[in-house]
Amino acid sequence: MSARAGIVVTGTEVLAGRVRDRNGPWLSDRLAELGIELAHIGICGDRREDLEAQLRFLAGEGVDVILTSGGLGPTADDLTADVVARFQHREMYLDAELEQRIAAIVEPLLKRWRNLDPEAIRISTRKQATIPEGAEVLGPAGTAPGLVVAPAPGRDGAVVVVLPGPPGELHRLWPEALATAGFREATANRSSFEHEMLRMVGIPESEIAETLRIGEERIDGLDELEITTCLRRGELEVAVRYEPPARGAWEGLLGLVRERHAPNLFSADGTSVDEQVAALLSGSGRAVAVAESCTGGELAGRLSAPAGASAYFAGGVIVYADEAKVRLLGVDAELIKRHGAVSAPVAAAMAAGALERLGAGAAVSVTGVAGPGGGTEEKPVGYVCFAARLADGSALARELVIPGERADVRDRSTTVALHLLRRLLRGESADL
Amino acid sequence: MSARAGIVVTGTEVLAGRVRDRNGPWLSDRLAELGIELAHIGICGDRREDLEAQLRFLAGEGVDVILTSGGLGPTADDLTADVVARFQHREMYLDAELEQRIAAIVEPLLKRWRNLDPEAIRISTRKQATIPEGAEVLGPAGTAPGLVVAPAPGRDGAVVVVLPGPPGELHRLWPEALATAGFREATANRSSFEHEMLRMVGIPESEIAETLRIGEERIDGLDELEITTCLRRGELEVAVRYEPPARGAWEGLLGLVRERHAPNLFSADGTSVDEQVAALLSGSGRAVAVAESCTGGELAGRLSAPAGASAYFAGGVIVYADEAKVRLLGVDAELIKRHGAVSAPVAAAMAAGALERLGAGAAVSVTGVAGPGGGTEEKPVGYVCFAARLADGSALARELVIPGERADVRDRSTTVALHLLRRLLRGESADL
């Protein structure tokens, strides 16, 4: 029986959808690495009774450890430490040593901001240094300390790890949390799970459902695998988790998927198309250039996101206007007039132009109708043309009608462009 | 007493952090518009007992309506309809009419994909047409129907609205869900809440905490306002919710914030800096051009994201290499040699170059060290230079050291660039 965990993300701004929660997913990854099973993530507002309800729910589900994020700031709506103290039957007290440490952190900030009220700072510091008795203190990172709070002596229940809301601060405190006595005792029982991930492109979910049904007949122990499938950004992901003795069933499943879906399976080791393209470019000595219209910079943004991208990302040109396509990329104005700005010939000319103008070894281009306006019967919203080209003249092209709203069309177009570039760099054809 | 709701997002891929949940925040917005109070969002994996636990938890919290998303697909891990049926004490049955409707939707897909197994499709269709007795059927959008399932006759409890996981499908079914008898009866008691949002830039959270403390002394009825503050993408947001009689307290708070933080308050009506820049550009007849290095396309992506951006977004150039800066933007190579690629003079020359090369009326540029490598003592990771320029020669510049990891530096840099552009378009100075 593996240790089980729950996560509570607090914050009215998260509950209200104004801020995207990045901590739940990040903590979920960390727990998986540790072999701790995550049962639930709960999101609630900055209200005492709602946070208490979440803690009670998770405790009732029998988890060994509860991770909270948020509610450690200096304002009155930051009440996590206080709620957790009460939940664990512990008193709050002002930790004078912690108050001094926070004051020392705040001091340089006082110089950076003008006209701050020192009394306001003192009150904030004191609030953040008031913690549950017996808590193990983490950090602080930023000005808020993290806390590991076990149930009061003589009581049973989950240990609560209280972490700050800002993701950078939470990341910095996490290793300290793992090292505390409270966390280690609560999570002593860990199973080791294997995690596998298959990624496919150009295949509907029903085909995988059928493959899994066939697998049930053919593969011994398939039910020992926890399999989840998911459509995401135009790709199909199949995630598989199992305990080591079920390795044979996993290998059977992998074989079956390879047998039935070889052309669609682009990743059997969990790597994303972004990572594969980065590796292909790094290894080739080629720098890549981008020419995009409807994706408006998002394709370049995705290619340049990884650390170290400057080694293989030459740059890009974003051209909406026809004139800019001519001027910045050397696209023939006649070509645009004849075929339209959204057309396969213009996509090809954009890739060739980016390759030449940025002195790159590879180029990829996108031109399309992202919507909501601009569609015609012949070229509806979602119609997008792609081209990829290498310095040696080899090239691939695709055109597609991509379903969805403007943001979806833009996002999925970046995925299609990355796959086209991947196939060209691997010397494959464009067709799936 | 307002109607209360809870949301359950199912999906092991969401729980495991592989997919970002977009449905919770979207549904949260819709509920707020309706004056229905959202108490909790829960995320759990595709496991029967975990979904049941979430439903029980929300029912125990006394919510009137539970919205679920996900788990309606054709694979065996899609079990929401079945779990909800049991929760509401209703049997599952195959709805023959629904089966025919889904089959009609699937038919064109059969032509699009090659080599599909018709039997696999039939099984999938039948699974998706098997629903709880007495359920009101929504859609289908995609191939999965939504469901509104009230408790079985003679039983109390929340109505459960079962929605599909893909955001586009969920959005399409939502208006139908609102129109069902089950939803309308469950949410008959709605308060009308007012929602306000203040956005500030260049101010720490402790200053707002102090302003709220002053407000408690000076403003009658301040405790009738539900106030949450949040740091986000380098901005400080203050969200305020109140019932109409508390309007006077809100006006008092707004007055106090204007009095204490006028230079930092850039939005009192909830508009984002993105929306303000879009409005300023639309109204000016100016198109904007972008020149970026460390943000790698993300600034252009943000400027071009709104529907209708093609009216005012001229395009952009992404230049990592020095040579590209010279070639594509006409930056003087001597200037780069003298000051370095990450410097205020080069940022200014990049903006001027983008303005000229893209024939734009406004331009904004970013050059910086996003990290993790490339930092020096003089120009550490996070050091970023910004420039904005109009065709009439007026210009603003900033330089900053932005804290955080690579993704944070890139993201916050786009926010700073938008603020600089906003101030220039409004004829303000760069200094805060």
Q: Grade residue A231 by pLDDT with cuts at 50, 70 and 90.
A: confident
Average pLDDT over residues A11-39: 88
A155 class by beta-carbon count within 10 Å (0-12 exposed, 13-18 middle, 19+ buried): exposed
Give the model confidence (pLDDT) of B178-223 as tens digits.
999 999 999 987 777 888 999 999 888 888 989 999 999 999 999 9
Q: Grade residue B113 by pLDDT with cuts at 50, 70 and 90.
A: low
CA-nearest residue to A28 within chain B is B16
Give the model confidence (pLDDT) of B304-321 as tens digits.
999 999 999 999 999 988
Percent of chain B whose pLDDT exceeds 70:
97
Q: Does pLDDT of B408 surpass 70? A: yes
Characterize the bridge pairing of strands B362-368 and B395-401.
unpaired
Q: Grade residue B230 by pLDDT with cuts at 50, 70 and 90.
A: confident
Average pLDDT over residues B73-80: 83
Average pLDDT over residues A203-211: 87
Query: Residue B24 and residue A17: Cβ atoms within 8 Å?
Result: yes
Q: Grade residue A430 by pLDDT with cuts at 50, 70 and 90.
A: low
The whole-number pLDDT of residue B431 equals 61
The whole-number pLDDT of residue B19 equals 79
Q: Which residues on chain B are in Cβ contact (under 8 Å) with A327?
A: 357-359
Q: Which residues on chain B are in Cβ contact (under 8 Å) with A296?
A: 300-301, 303-305, 309, 313
Q: Grade residue A114 by pLDDT with cuts at 50, 70 and 90.
A: low
Per-residue b/e over B367-387, b at no fewer than 16 CB within 10 Å? bbbbbeebeeeebebbbbbbb
Q: Does pLDDT of A111 surpass 80? A: no
A378 Cβ contact partners less than 8 Å away, ≥ 6 residues apart: none
| Rounded-to-integer distance, Cα B181 and Cα A9, Å | 33
Q: Does pLDDT of B105 surpass 90? A: no
Interface test with B, best of A54, A197, A206 (most B CBs within 10 A): A206
Question: If phi over 0 gives left and psi between -120 and 50 gives alpha, with beta otherwise, what is residue B183?
Answer: alpha
Two tokens, residue A27: 């903590």
Taking the C-alpha atoms of A376, A380, A384 and A385 in order, what is their torsion angle to the nearest 10 degrees?
A: -50
Interface test with A, best of B8, B358, B367 (most A CBs within 10 A): B358
Question: If phi over 0 gives left and psi between -120 and 50 gives alpha, with beta otherwise, what is residue B382?
Answer: left
A414 Cβ contact partners less than 8 Å away, ≥ 6 residues apart: A295, A298, A299, A302, A366
The whole-number pLDDT of residue B430 equals 67
Q: Grade residue B231 by pLDDT with cuts at 50, 70 and 90.
A: confident
Order of strands, edge to edge, in the sheet holding A395-401?
A: A395-401, A383-390, A362-368, A288-292, A313-319, B313-319, B288-292, B362-368, B383-390, B395-401
Average pLDDT over residues B56-75: 93
A92 class by beta-carbon count within 10 Å (0-12 exposed, 13-18 middle, 19+ buried): middle
Taking the C-alpha atoms of B349, B353, B356 and B359 in order, what is their torsion angle to the nearest 10 degrees?
A: -130
Q: Helix, strand, coil: what percent of chain B each, to 5? A: 45, 25, 30
Q: Does pLDDT of A362 surpass 60? A: yes
Q: Grade residue B112 by pLDDT with cuts at 50, 70 and 90.
A: low
Q: Which residues on chain A are in Cβ contact (under 8 Å) with B310?
A: 320, 374
Q: How far is CA B166 from CA B5, B14, B143, in A?
A: 21, 12, 11
Q: How far is CA A423 from CA A100, A205, A266, A382, A392, in A?
A: 58, 22, 10, 22, 15
Higher-confidence position of B54 and A107: B54
The whole-number pLDDT of residue B1 equals 62
Higher-confidence position of A139 and A142: A139
Mean of per-residue pLDDT scores for chain A: 92
Percent of chain A whose pLDDT exceeds 70:
97
Give the model confidence (pLDDT) of A326-358 as tens digits.
999 999 999 999 999 999 999 999 999 999 999
The whole-number pLDDT of residue B26 equals 93
Average pLDDT over residues B351-375: 95
Query: Residue B239 and residue A168: Cβ atoms within 8 Å?
Result: no
Query: Residue B124 and residue A168: Cβ atoms within 8 Å?
Result: no
CB A420 within 8 A of CB A386: yes
Mean of per-residue pLDDT scores for chain B: 92
CA-nearest residue to B106 within chain A is A206
- Min Cα distance A307 → chain B (Å) is 6
Query: Which residues are registered as beta bridge partners of A100?
Result: none
Q: Which residues on chain B are in Cβ contact (under 8 Å) with A372?
A: 307
The whole-number pLDDT of residue A16 equals 85
Q: Does pLDDT of A285 surpass 80? A: yes
| Rounded-to-integer distance, Cα A241 and Cα A126, Å | 45
Q: Does pLDDT of B432 surpass 60? A: no
The whole-number pLDDT of residue A314 equals 93
| Rounded-to-integer distance, Cα A93 and Cα A91, Å | 7
Angle of CA points B229, B231, B236, to nearest 5°: 70
Distance of CA A210 to the CA centre of its chain: 29
Q: Which residues on chain B are in Cβ contact (under 8 Å) with A73?
A: 205, 209, 229
Residue (of B67, B76, B58) closest to B10 by Cα position: B67
Length of chain A: 432
Phi, psi (deg, nearest 5) at residue B287: -100, 150
Two tokens, residue A95: 């930790």
| Rounded-to-integer distance, Cα A364 and Cα A293, Å | 12
Distance of CA A187 to the CA centre of its chain: 26
Q: Does pLDDT of B412 surpass 90? A: yes
Q: Does pLDDT of A42 surpass 80? A: yes
| Rounded-to-integer distance, Cα B241 and Cα A77, Å | 14
- Min Cα distance B299 → chain A (Å) is 8
| Rounded-to-integer distance, Cα B160 and Cα A122, Å | 48
Which position has the token pair 């919510």?
Answer: B63
Higher-confidence position of A20 and A380: A380
Interface test with A, best of B30, B197, B210 (most A CBs within 10 A): B210
Q: Grade residue A432 by pLDDT with cuts at 50, 70 and 90.
A: low
The 3-class secondary structure across chain A, one letter per residue, is CCCEEEEEEECHHHHCCCCCCCHHHHHHHHHHHHCCEEEEEEEECCCHHHHHHHHHHHHHCCCCEEEEECCCCCCCCCCHHHHHHHHCCCCEEECHHHHHHHHHHHHHHHHHCCCCCHHHHHHHHHHHCEEECCCEEEEEECCEEEEEECCCCCCCCCEEEEECCCHHHHHHHHHHHHHCHHHHHHCCCCCCCEEEEEEEECCCHHHHHHHHHHHHHHCCCHHHCEEEEEEECCEEEEEEEECHHHHHHHHHHHHHHHHHHCCCEEECCCCCHHHHHHHHHHHHCCCEEEEECCCCCHHHHHHCCCCCHHHCEEEEEEECCHHHHHHHHCCCHHHHHHHCCCCHHHHHHHHHHHHHHCCCCEEEEEEECCCCCCCCCCCCCCEEEEEEEECCCCEEEEEEECCCCHHHHHHHHHHHHHHHHHHHHCCCCCCC
SS3 (DSSP) at B74: coil
A387 class by beta-carbon count within 10 Å (0-12 exposed, 13-18 middle, 19+ buried): buried
Gyration radius of chain A's alpha carbons: 27
Average pLDDT over residues A365-387: 94
Sign of CA dihedral A366, A371, A375, A380: positive
The whole-number pLDDT of residue A431 equals 61
The whole-number pLDDT of residue B149 equals 97
The whole-number pLDDT of residue A107 equals 81
